[in-house]
């Protein structure tokens, strides 16, 4: 089974809204996760907006503790997001399989998640759905935050998927249940519930239905951690209590403060799940003594080779060997060890052997070449007509040798396309600055109006700043519920700045 240029390896999960597959990208030979919108939802604009939002927000987030989104595709009969494949499972699965989680593991996961949130919040992004199911644990036991489908920039309105609350009920902070705006403290509250679940094995507010769950979040107190996990350190119990405070202002101000608390805590066993043991006090001194003894023997013990071959003979041998060409790429050693080439000396003394590398015929040429694409501002990258990634790229694109077509697309800028010739083993770089394809339009309306550009609502007057409109022909519609509608057509050029004043007749 293929979906566009992806070969499906197997289905991972099937939900009411999306189906998730493990897949192989055929052009890039890259394993990915495909999150595909189920067919019955293809006409639901809220869900399409959610998919676009997740891809575009994630394109701004490049961090080792955040799962990378490569690409998204929206057409009348197919909608999907392509994400980085992480070998491992979710924290939710880990809690169910390994309960109780070891305390060093819990601290490692919390630390990684705080790093991801500190970075995302610094970029102005609020996740709004922190929970164990949205935290992946990879094969190195690194926590990776994923699923930014409900995320938003702090200055943007949110999107609610069809039939869903804003977030997962059992992890929703009280202020979101009351309809208030999400902020940094909202994510921290949800992380507090996740931490509680790691410690105690259960969410304290999960009930038989959504209404009961939301009521529990608003009115019930969680069971004391000390009664469920007596050995839990004070660092974790205090942190959980701070994060789960009902009032946002009573929670920590940001993730960085909590990271500092973890780093300041002297707990060698909490550095990682496989913590290093403290060395005995005598080991450092013993190591210094051992190094000194070895140094003495190296300096003052004659070498067998120096006794067997006179200095002038070694010099002539070394001069006869051509220097190895400089290279940046280290060749891996053969399993059998380096081959030795015997060289006879002038006085028939025992032969001297010098290492020799593989012959030219033994060196295999790489099967692919690569190109790194840098674009300002961001752009969707199309390879031979297939969408493959969004800049900034995490790594260069590995391509088969030959000619390829690259396109860079940003809806507010003029698209650029290039023909590139990929050579096996060669690394190339393409740096592009896109040219604006929009204009600035300041609209004033008397007395006031709701502004629609090309049938899309923008905002109400008075405007704080000019609107960005695409170059070309635009239909402007102003609506005042009491005074009616004004419609106008306006053609603008890229880079142009215009001001229009409209007056409603009373």
Q: Which residues pair with 152 in a beta bridge?
A: 126
CA distance 341 to 49: 67
Q: How far is CA 120 from the centre of its chain?
A: 10
Q: Is 129 a catalytic residue?
A: yes
DSSP per-residue string spanning 44-61:
-HHHHHHHHHHHHHHHT-
User: For residue 33, which of 45, 21, 18, 46 has the smallest C-alpha distance?
Assistant: 21
Q: How many residues does the chain have?
A: 506
Report the pLDDT value the prediction gives residue 296, as an integer from 0 to 100.
Answer: 53
The sign of the dihedral angle between the CA atoms of 229, 211, 180, 63 is positive
Which CATH class for the 2-84 domain? alpha beta
| Intrachain domains 2-84 and 438-503 with the same fold | no
The alpha helices in 60-172, defined as continuous H runs, are 91-98, 103-122
Given a cut of 50, the residues of the chain with pLDDT beneath it are: 154-165, 266-283, 303-349, 352-356, 359-362
Fold of 369-433: Immunoglobulin-like (2.60.40)
- Rounded to a whole number of angstroms, the CA Rg of the chain reads 31
DSSP H or E run through 286? helix 283-300
Q: Which of 71, 118, 129, 147 is catalytic?
A: 129
DSSP H or E run through 408? strand 402-409
Report the pLDDT value the prediction gives residue 184, as an integer from 0 to 100.
Answer: 95
Report the pLDDT value the prediction gives residue 34, as an integer from 0 to 100.
Answer: 92
For the chain, first and last CA: distance in Å? 63
CATH for the stretch 438-503: 2.60.40
* Domain range annotation of the chain: 2-84, 88-270, 369-433, 438-503
CATH for the stretch 88-270: 1.10.510.10
The residues near 344 (Cβ < 8 Å, ≥ 6 apart) are 351
Report the pLDDT value the prediction gives residue 81, as an integer from 0 to 100.
Answer: 87
CA distance 314 to 311: 5
Report the pLDDT value the prediction gives residue 71, as an integer from 0 to 100.
Answer: 82
The alpha helices in 362-442, defined as continuous H runs, are none
Pairing of strands 125-126, 380-383: unpaired
Contact status, residue 402 vs residue 461, Cβ threshold 8 Å: no
Report the pLDDT value the prediction gives residue 475, as an integer from 0 to 100.
Answer: 94
């Amino acid at each position: 089974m293929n979906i566009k240029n992806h070969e499906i390896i197997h289905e991972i999960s099937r939900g009411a809204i999306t189906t998730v597959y493990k897949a192989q990208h055929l052009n890039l030979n890259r394993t990915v996760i495909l999150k595909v919108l189920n067919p019955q939802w293809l006409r639901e604009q809220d869900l399409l907006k959610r998919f676009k939002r997740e891809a575009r927000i994630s394109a701004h987030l490049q961090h080792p503790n955040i799962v990378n989104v490569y690409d998204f595709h929206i057409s009348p009969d197919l909608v999907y997001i392509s994400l980085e494949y992480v070998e491992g499972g979710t924290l939710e699965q880990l809690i169910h399989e390994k309960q109780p989680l070891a305390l060093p593991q819990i601290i490692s996961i919390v630390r990684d998640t705080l790093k991801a949130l500190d970075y995302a919040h610094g970029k102005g992004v609020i996740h709004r759905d922190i929970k164990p199911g949205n935290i992946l644990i990879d094969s190195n036991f690194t926590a990776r935050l994923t699923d930014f489908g409900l995320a938003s920039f702090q200055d943007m309105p949110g999107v609610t998927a069809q039939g869903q609350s804003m977030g997962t009920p059992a992890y929703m902070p009280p202020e979101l249940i009351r309809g208030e705006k999400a902020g940094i403290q909202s994510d921290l509250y949800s992380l507090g519930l996740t931490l509680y679940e790691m410690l105690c094995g259960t969410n304290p507010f999960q009930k038989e239905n959504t209404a009961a769950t939301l009521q529990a979040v608003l009115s019930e107190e969680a069971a004391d951690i000390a009664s469920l996990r007596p050995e839990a350190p004070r660092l974790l119990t205090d942190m959980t209590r701070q994060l789960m405070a009902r009032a946002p202002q009573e929670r920590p101000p940001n993730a960085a403060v909590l990271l500092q608390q973890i780093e300041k805590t002297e707990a060698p066993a909490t550095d990682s799940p496989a913590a290093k043991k403290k060395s005995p006090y005598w080991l450092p001194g013993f190591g210094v003594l051992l190094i000194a003894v070895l140094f003495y023997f190296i300096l003052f013990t004659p070498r067998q080779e120096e006794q067997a071959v006179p200095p002038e003979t070694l010099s002539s041998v070394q001069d006869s060997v051509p220097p190895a060409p400089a290279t940046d790429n280290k060749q891996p050693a053969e399993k059998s060890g380096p081959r030795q080439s015997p060289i006879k000396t002038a006085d028939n003394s025992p032969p001297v052997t010098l290492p020799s590398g593989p012959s030219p015929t033994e060196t295999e040429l790489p099967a692919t070449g690569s190109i790194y694409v840098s674009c300002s501002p961001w752009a969707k990258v199309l390879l031979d007509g297939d969408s493959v990634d969004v800049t900034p790229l995490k790594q260069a694109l590995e391509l088969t040798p030959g000619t390829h077509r690259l396109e860079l697309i940003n809806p507010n800028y003029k698209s650029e396309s290039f023909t590139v010739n990929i050579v096996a083993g060669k690394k190339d770089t393409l740096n592009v600055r896109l040219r604006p394809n929009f204009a600035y339009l300041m609209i004033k309306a008397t007395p006031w109006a709701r502004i629609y550009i090309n049938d899309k609502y923008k905002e109400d007057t008075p405007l704080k700043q000019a609107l960005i409109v695409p170059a070309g022909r635009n239909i402007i519609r102003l609506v005042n519920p009491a005074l009616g509608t004004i419609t106008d057509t306006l053609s603008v050029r890229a880079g142009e700045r215009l001001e229009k004043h409209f007056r409603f007749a009373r």
